[in-house]
Every structure is written in structure tokens, then in C-alpha cells.
Amino acid sequence: MKSRSCMAVAGFVVTLAFLFPMYAFGAKDKVVIGHPACLSGKYAKAGEQAVGGIKACIDWVNNVHGGVTVDGKKVPLDYKYYDCESKKEGVTSFIERLITVNKVNVVFSAYSSGLTLAGAPVAERYGMVYMDHGGASDRIFQQGFKYIVQTIGPGSKYHEGTLDMIHHIDPKVKKVALAYEDSEFARMTMGGAEKHAKALGFEVVFKRTYPKGVTDLTPLLSDLKTKKPDIVIGGGHYEDGQLFTRQMSDLGIQVKALSLVASVTLPSYYEALGGRLAEGVMGPSHWEYGVTYSAAGAKKEGLDWIGPSQDEFVALFKKAVGKDMIPEYHAAEAGAQVLAYVKAVEMADSIGQDKVRAALGKLKFMSFYGGWDVDDTGMQIGHSMIDMQWQEDGKRVIVWPPEAATGKPIYPKPAF
């Protein structure tokens, strides 16, 4: 018994240690962004990207934009982040510390819907604007939180464009299989995809989920194979996407189109599959290197433009992470969020939380990341998804929507 109450005591002491009062001096001559980043643990990959993207855009704001204009004065942006280890305790305690000790002016969420939800009540309690660039679940915005604003698009829309595209190219194809990871986010995507597929007249011949962290998908894919689908859509996070593709090829499942969320758009996906297996596979994405959003395009749509051009962003990102690495959408959405915040502060001409939140609600603009606009609950509605496809020699081609496309889709996809 002692062992257990010992553990209880131990648990509290750890909690207490986190709550330990710690003092620092928050200078008021700068605007500070706080971020419980996921630098280790299961979301380390996305966390590294986000930190790089945020640093890149802060660099731009301070050195090109000249700082944030508040009360007619240009003030530099600063960035304070901790490593939450992809854990909910880390998120809540670090957000608390960022607000009370570091006196930050805005908090950015960690990664994933769960961790974003974990931080929301804390931000809400302190009346702090909480910007979400990593939690795609629609349900976050159905809880009545007042201070949360989303930059990443809602999960339910991920595969709609893919289905539109296939329907557009080959209206005769009917049989679609859905196989998603059993997680909050992927289920949201699956629900959206199923609804949209039925609306377009597809026949859903297979619909299953697989648990997070699974290391062998053979049973599920064998089952899928017997349903003989024409197209397969699914996925969830990173490793399962590689596994999914690899084992489809192992089982010799040949389809006309394969599209997986999250993993496909990463260069590591192509490398891990030795290139050939990745060819023709598609993935929806919020942003990809090569999209054609520009100041001129923004003008045409009557939207304000702010921030670096795509190439400038990439250069700043490389400088921020100190590696020759092309940013992925996690970096772009975190970076765009910095721009959204700057824009809102300048619009409100204040760093007061309620004023900034109100300004974010009204804000509508375009950056290298694309459009940005939120509805009343704070959910992102102004950003549209794109679809990318791996083509010959590891080329990443944006194939949908036509206005953002950099090339034609390969359809049907080459056999494994």
C-alpha cells in the first residue's frame, strides 16, 4: 500500500515542483510570443518545424517589417519557448509559467488536438489569446472557449479536395476505401471524407480504423484487398503513412489513387520508401513548398498581404534551424500565425487581450501560407487545402486545386 500512496505523494510533489513560484522580470518594451513547443517525445518532428517557422517569421517582423506597431511605436517581437515533451502536464504548467512568469502577450498551442485542448482552459483562465496552429479537431471549437483562434484548417476538410479532383478526372470511378488512424484528428477527416464521397456519388466499400502506434497493418490491408477498391484514402500521422504504403505494396494492392494525410507530404516519406513506392501517392496539405500565393495574387482577391515571400520564408527558416532543410506545413502554419498576431495587434493598436482577440475575429489577410480568416468560434475558414503528389525523381507537384497547381496529376498512379 505504501508503495501506492508513496506514488501519489510522489506525483504531487512533481506537480508542486512545476507550480513552484518562480520570478522573472518581464520587460514591457517588447511583445512576447509564448510557446510550449514539442521538442522531444512523439511530436518532436512537428515541434522542431514549428519553432523554426516561428523564429523565421519573427526574424522577418523585426528586421524587415521593423517590429510591431503599437501606440505609434515600433516594438520588437520576442519568442519564449519551452519543451513540453509532447505531454499534457508540460503544456499546462509551461503555459502557466509563460503567462505568469515570462509575462508573454500571446500563447501559441503545442501540437495535436489533445495538447491544444489541454492548454485551452489555462489560457482561458488568464484571458490570454491562445492561437492554435497544431490542433485540427473541429471539436476544440465547440467547447465555448473565448480566447482560442485557429490557423490550421479544420480536420474534416482534409480529403474533400482529393475526392473532388478524382471525381473531376475520372467521374466513372466508384469504389473508395477509407482506412484511417483511430485518433481524434483522423476520425474527423474520415467523417468529412465519407460524407463528401457519398455526396459525389462514390461507393464506400471499406471503412476501418487502426490504433495509434500500430506496427503492422497487414490484417487490415488484407481485408481491404478483398474489397477491391479503386481508390484508397486514409492515414493519420507520420509513421503509419510509411507503413501503410509499404504494406500495400507488400500485399500487392494496386489502386488508381492513394492519398494519405500527414505523412505523405514529408520528404522523409519519399526517402523511407526508397522513392519508387512513393511515386504517384498523394497527400492533402495545408501548405507545400512551391505553392503560388503572392502579394499580386492577394491583391487580385482583394486581400491584404503581409510577411515574407515564399522564398524569403524558406531562407529565413533555414537560418533559424541552422540546417539546409525545406520547411513543411507545420513550419508554415506556425509562421503564418506570427503574422496573423502581428496583423491583429496593429489593427487593434493594442496588446490588450480582448482587443487583440476581437481584431483576430475580424482579420482577413493572405501570406505565403495562403488565406487566413476565422469564424465566430475561432475556427479557421479562410485557408484552403492543397493536394500534392510525388512524381518522377522525387518531384513534389501540387496537383489540386487548379489555381494553386504546379503540375498535372498522374492518374491512375503507377503500380507499386
Partner 1 sequence: MGMTGYVDFGYVTFIALGAYGMSLGITYFYQVEGLGIWIVFIGFLLALLLASLSALLEAFIALRLRGAYFAIACIGINEGLRHFIEGAKLWGGSEGLIFSGSLIQAVGRETANQLTTFWADLAVFIIAALAAFLNIHYMRSKIGYALTAVKEDEDAAKVMGVNTTKYKTIAFLTSGLLGASVGAVAWGLKLGYVFPGDVFVIHYTVECIVVVLLGGAGTLLGPVVGGLIYGLSKYWLAIIWPGFQLLIFAPIIIIIIVLFPEGVVGMLKNRVRGTALERYLL
Partner 2 sequence: MILELLGGNLAHGLLLGGVYGLATMGLSLIFGVINVVNVGHGQFIMVGAFVAQTMFTALGLSPLIAIPAAFVIGMALGFFFFYTVIRRLVEAPELTTLLATFAIGILLEEIAKLIFGADFRGYNWGLGKIELAITTIPLSKIYAFVGSIVIALFLYLWFSKTRLGTAVRAVIEDSEGARVCGVNVDWIYALSFAIGIGLTVMSGVLLTMFIPVGINPYMGGTYTLKAFVIAVLGGLSSPYGAFFAGLIFGLIENGAYVLFAQIPGVAPFSLTVSLAFWMLFFLLLLKPTGLLGK
Q: Considering only CA atoms, which of 371, 286, 384 is closest in space to residue 327?
A: 286
Q: Which of the choices partner 2, partner 1, none does residue 66 contact, using the CB cut-off of 5 to 8 A by kind?
A: none
Amino acid at 188: M
68 has which bridge partners? 75
Contact predicate 288/281, CB 8 Å: no
Site string for partner 1, 396-415 (x = CB under 8 A): --------------------
Which CB sits closer to partner 2, 42 or 159? 42
Which CB sits closer to partner 2, 6 or 19? 6
Question: What crossing angle do the helices spanning 88-100 and 113-125 adopt, rounded to 10°?
Answer: 30
Which CB sits closer to partner 1, 15 or 268? 15
Binders of partner 1 among 119-138, rule CB under 8 A?
Answer: 120-122, 124-125
**What's the rounded Cα separation, in Å, for the pair 75 and 81?**
19
Alpha carbon 339 to its chain centroid, in Å, reads 16
Q: Which of the choices partner 2, partner 1, none does residue 11 contact, using the CB cut-off of 5 to 8 A by kind?
A: partner 1
Q: Cell 480566447 identifies what position?
A: 147
Among 21, 72, 144, 274, the residue binding partner 1 under the rule CB under 8 A is: 144
Segment contacting partner 2 by CB under 8 A, of 118-126, 218-226, 308-316, 364-372:
218-226
**What's the rounded Cα separation, in Å, for the pair 247 and 252?**
8
Site string for partner 1, 191-230 (x = CB under 8 A): ------------------x-xx------------------
**What's the rounded Cα separation, in Å, for the pair 388 and 134?**
20
Contact predicate 237/244, CB 8 Å: no
Tell whether the torsion through CA atoms of 221, 41, 152 and 263 is positive or negative.
negative
Binders of partner 1 among 37-76, rule CB under 8 A?
Answer: 37, 39-40
Which CB sits closer to partner 2, 254 or 292? 254
Segment contacting partner 2 by CB under 8 A, of 132-140, 144-152, 215-223, 367-375:
215-223
Among 18, 41, 167, 358, the residue binding partner 2 under the rule CB under 8 A is: 41
Residue 26 as a binder of partner 1 (CB under 8 A): the answer is: no
Q: What is the DSSP letter of 276?
A: G
**Which residues touch 308 (CB under 8 Å, ≥6 apart)?**
56, 57, 60, 64, 316, 368
Residue 219 as a binder of partner 2 (CB under 8 A): the answer is: yes
The grid cell for 185 is 484528428
Contact predicate 236/215, CB 8 Å: no
Residue 250 as a binder of partner 2 (CB under 8 A): the answer is: yes
Which CB sits closer to partner 1, 140 or 342? 140
Contact predicate 295/401, CB 8 Å: no
**Nearest-approach distance from CB 143 to partner 1, in angstroms:** 4
Residue ranges binding partner 2 (CB under 8 A): 40-42, 44-45, 48, 182, 208-211, 213-216, 218-220, 222-223, 226, 238-240, 242-243, 245-247, 250-252, 263, 266, 268-269, 271-277
